[in-house]
Structure 1
Amino acid sequence: MANCFENLPPCVWFEGGERRNAFASILAGFLFFSGWWLIIDANAVHPDAVRGAYHVCGIIGTVSLFMINAVSNAQVRGDSFSGGCMGPRGARTWLFVGFVLGFAAVIASCWILFADFFGPNGKSKAAGIALFLQNLFIFGGSLVYKFGRAEEQWG
């Protein structure tokens, strides 16, 4: 798999070079933190608007982040992984299930946003938007952490 940032033109005023992994990790951590911070703030400001079941989307998104980033690109390609009960096919399946959970969390939070917060009995729209942004930021953070790093430096 090619990395997303390889095709970007080089930045003249800043050369990341060896610090690419550090910046991708910081950006992914900031996105993850911001997502959870938004829903915690929405729950503190509007405690009646955010039900306990709404937090399941964020939990599934967090599990998706761990699943997506638990498998390296070399394992998915089959270069460095031949053990286990399924080999590279198991790594690909694990990655696929992680992406499905991440997309499902974003789609479910979008559904909750429009069904419960913009519906006829709409609650605080800010809490619904915070719920959607939480899952969007968590999924964005998992994508940045997966594809923003260079794995060649690990070996």
Structure 2
Amino acid sequence: MGVGELRMCMTELSEAKSDLSKGSTSKSENKRIMSGFLDGIRCGDCECNVDWGERRNTIASIAAGVLFFTGWWIIIDAAVKYPDQGQFHHAYHTCGVIATVAFLMINAVSNGQVRGDSYSEGCMGQTGARVWLFIGFMLAFGSLIASMWILFGGFVVPQKPVVYPGIAIFFQNAFIFFGGLVFKFGRTEDLWQ
């Protein structure tokens, strides 16, 4: 829809509005004018039409990288802002490290290996891939649950004056967890086969 067509629609709409304010338009004619206003507008019908199916792996990888980076950026910000052990105990970084290891474990196994579609059995085959993926998901969920425990047990319930480090730990683990899910299930393996 060009600018001229949009101006024409806006002119028709303003004329219909002025007629409506005079009371000369019936209710059915008013519905026809309003429904015709959006008929010419199409979403995604521009010259820069992008085929998102071909770029699925790229978009999923970028989104997962941004989530992973954001998680670590938040915790580094909290560690720099609260360097004292009393405000932010440095052992709390363990959750983020375990979440990162889980991220790597989950994405080290392809979906084809889990399904048994791969050509080579590897060292442990399909069962080993499933066990590896299960352990990775256990570590990911465990670090997310532990970060919630740290948030509430270490910062909210004791009513500490500064709660931001606990929130940072939770969001770090949540972003790493969701980044791992996006990287694992957002990509497709069809391009390699």
Q: Same fold (TM over 0.5)?
A: yes
Worse-matched range after superposition: 82-91 or 66-75: 82-91
Cα deviation 1:47-74 (Å, max 9, x = unaligned): 2222221000000000000000000011
- Could you tell me which amino acid in structure 2 is paired with residue 117 of structure 1? F
- Could you tell me which amino acid in structure 2 is paired with residue 28 of structure 1? A
* CA RMSD of superposed structures (Å): 1.4
TM superposition score normalised by structure 1:
0.88
Q: Name the counterpart of 1:108.
A: 146
Q: Name the counterpart of 1:66.
A: 104
Counterpart check, 1:89 vs 2:130 = no
TM superposition score normalised by structure 2:
0.71
Counterpart check, 1:134 vs 2:182 = no
Counterpart check, 1:80 vs 2:118 = yes
SS of match in other structure, 1:18: coil
Counterpart check, 1:45 vs 2:81 = yes
Give how far 1:84 is off.
Answer: 3.3
Counterpart check, 1:18 vs 2:54 = yes
State the number of aligned residues.
Answer: 144
Work out the CA distance in 1 between the residues paired with 2:110 and 2:180: 13
Work out the CA distance in 1 between the residues paired with 2:188 and 2:162: 42
Q: Which runs of 5+ in 1 are unaligned?
A: 1-11
Q: Name the counterpart of 2:11.
A: none
SS of match in other structure, 2:54: helix
Q: Name the counterpart of 2:72.
A: 36
Higher CA-based Rg: 2
Cα deviation 1:68-91 (Å, max 9, x = unaligned): 000001100111154234210000
Which residue, out of 127, 149, 156, partners 1:118?
156
Percent identity between the two aligned chains: 59
